[in-house]
Amino acid sequence: MLAFLAARAVSGVEEIDNRAYRRTVRLRRDGREHIGWIEVSQAEKKSALRVVMSPSLAETGPEILDRVRRLMDVSANPVEIAAGLGRLAKSHPGLRVPGAFDGFEIGVRAILGQQVSVAAARTVAGRFASALGTPIGSPFASLNTVFPAPEKIARLTVDHVARLGVLAARSRSIIALAGAIADGTIHLGPTPDVAGELKKLRALPGVGEWTAQYIAMRALDWPDAFPHTDFGVMKALGETNPERVLKTAQPWRPWRAYAVMHLWRSLHA
């Protein structure tokens, strides 16, 4: 989990060392905005996560813990999932799907990651956060920015975003996503209506199936999300035809998001 998050960590917003995940936080509660930082690590003497948060987030404690549970996929049942995936999960039966602490942030990062490497997407995401986010002080030198809120991004023009090195088409997508979240049209969090949210995501300019499925996999907590056109997934399966990829993945339902994690991991075995 830490290795996955470290490879995608947004500069200024996230920090991962060999024992902990840290990030800045923006939450709105009862009309008030709360900004601060959290640290998540493995508890020393039991199978649990230890969460530390800045005093500024004290009033949001229950929501912080809920978001950490989703980010770290705490509710997953590895035994049940491994049984459903069969041989695919044999080497790493406890592999989980990293979720989203902030759905909008994951949505932006998914759009920035369209058809580029993980490293390239991470670089642009850091530039985006640094230019448009909120400065913050913390005990950690590398945590100094809070990812921008959708309400702020929705008011920008394409030129505002494009000047950060983002293609104009992706800039439009990000602004459209921000507007849809700000006005409540789209909710990027756990939902009983995944199909409905996917339909609304696909209706946004520049949001295709890969982007929608990746967002569903991480922000919507959908265990059966499957970005079947993903280059890494196709490479791991030795396939070039997306339809054959879908057919191959049928036996893994409803755990295809976990299958994706195993396929990606196999590329680095």
For strands 32-42 and 20-29, give the pairing. Answer: antiparallel
One of 73, 102, 221, 230 is an active-site residue; which one? Answer: 230
230 as an active site residue: the answer is: yes
User: Which residues are marked as active site?
Assistant: 230
